[in-house]
Amino acid sequence: MIPIMKPNLSGNELNYVSNCVESEWISSQGYYVTKFEELVGEYIGSPYAVAVSNGTVALHLALVSLGVGDKDEVIVPDMTFASSVNAVLHAGATPILVDVDKDTFNICVSEIQKAITKKTKAIMPVHLYGNPCDMDAINEIAKEHGLLVIEDAAEAFGSEYKGKKVGALSHASTFSFYGNKTITTGEGGIIIFKSKEVYEHACMLRDHGMRKDRRYWHDYVGYNYRMTNLQAAIGVAQMERIEKIIERKVAIAKYYLERFEDIREIKMPKLDFENSLNTYWLFTFLLSESTNREDFRKYLTDKNIETRPTFISAHDMPPYTDFKRGNLSNSKLISQKGLSIPSYIDLQVNDLEYIADQIANYFHK
């Protein structure tokens, strides 16, 4: 079976993890954590990077560090991984689920406008499957209403919006380094802050809310959200070849895009901002109304090609039904018709040809 995704650990990963074990620095202090924060911060474009244990706590810590909590509303796209919505609830705030654009799969700017109330404190755009959101438009609305913007960039490491890396376009952004993400640390996440003050506050909250200048003195009820040296060691090795990884992701997407151009039944997410880049975390498209997704998936499974349906629209699941706002029909459509196909960087040219051939054959192209 050709899997949908798998990590590539072919560089210094083993070497650096061995260093941790040999040096006995296996917990959250040690060389690699700081190094990883530096490398990611430099790559994204901010010196204020905080490495944490996973992408979900990254979102939670970003929200609480910025003061989002009780009685606040946070506008979140209905089409996302549940983690985005959960983090808002964990912070004690209320998620407001709005529709996405059916051409980009990303949060719909006019729906954000409509969902703003006196209680709105923040907007959380999610760069879904690697496709950058319209950050200029979102930041403009935020500015007009005095709102915070927190990018959930878990799926968009390396993606660009108008010449800048996503993750550097808001008050705080988060990435996930789960095993199937663009780069991995096994489990892991990072927050990129704009403000030094908020960054310092987050560092303290990550470490039990303990003061830096007075050990075992706590001004806040903090968390233990630290990343281990072992995780960071893998991350540092991944960052050493980040340009190659992104290049390969983009080349795979380009191949599929060309092959599927003439297939009417396949619709790709749009990206029409200049100097922008979708890094296609998972190569994902919409099937036409008349294509039965389950039949298509079964056909590909029989050809040993793994596929993955898109996320389920959040408002359709029991914990989130109360939070929907407005018409969520695009989210529902993407939920029912979206599909991801294999796009990990070790796919060989013959694998790509095989996958594209099978798909083309299904639609008789």
Ligand X SMILES: *Cc1c(COP(=O)(O)O)cnc(C)c1O
User: Residue numbers of the site for ligand X (CB under 6 A)?
Assistant: 54-56, 80-81, 83-84, 126, 152, 154-155, 176, 178, 189
Provide, rounded to whole angstroms, the least separation between the CB of residue 298 and ligand X: 25
Residue 117: exposure state from Cβ atoms within 10 A (0-12, 13-18, ≥19) = exposed
Of 50 and 352, CB closest to ligand X: 50
Of 330 and 352, CB closest to ligand X: 330
d(CA 360, CA 355): 9
Provide, rounded to whole angstroms, the least separation between the CB of residue 351 and ligand X: 24
d(CA 353, CA 349): 6
Among 259, 267, 229, smallest CA distance to 360 is for 259
d(CA 135, CA 97): 18
Residue 348, helix vs strand vs coil: coil
Torsion over CA: 272, 276, 277, 278 (sign): negative
Provide, rounded to whole angstroms, the least separation between the CB of residue 313 and ligand X: 14
Token code pair at residue 189: 């996440």
Token code pair at residue 86: 């959960």
Provide, rounded to whole angstroms, the least separation between the CB of residue 292 and ligand X: 26
Main-chain dihedrals φ then ψ at residue 75, nearest 5 degrees: -85, 120
Torsion over CA: 303, 304, 310, 312 (sign): positive
Of 105 and 178, CB closest to ligand X: 178
Residue closest to ligand X (Cβ): 55
Amino acid occupying residue 180: N
Of 106 and 359, CB closest to ligand X: 106
Of 176 and 259, CB closest to ligand X: 176
Of 72 and 152, CB closest to ligand X: 152
Provide, rounded to whole angstroms, the least separation between the CB of residue 87 and ligand X: 8
Q: Which residue bears the tokens 């009417």?
A: 264
d(CA 347, CA 352): 7
Provide, rounded to whole angstroms, the least separation between the CB of residue 79 and ligand X: 10
- CB-based contact 88:73 (threshold 8 Å): no
Provide, rounded to whole angstroms, the least separation between the CB of residue 91 and ligand X: 14
Of 238 and 255, CB closest to ligand X: 238
d(CA 241, CA 56): 25
Of 99 and 152, CB closest to ligand X: 152
Provide, rounded to whole angstroms, the least separation between the CB of residue 361 and ligand X: 31
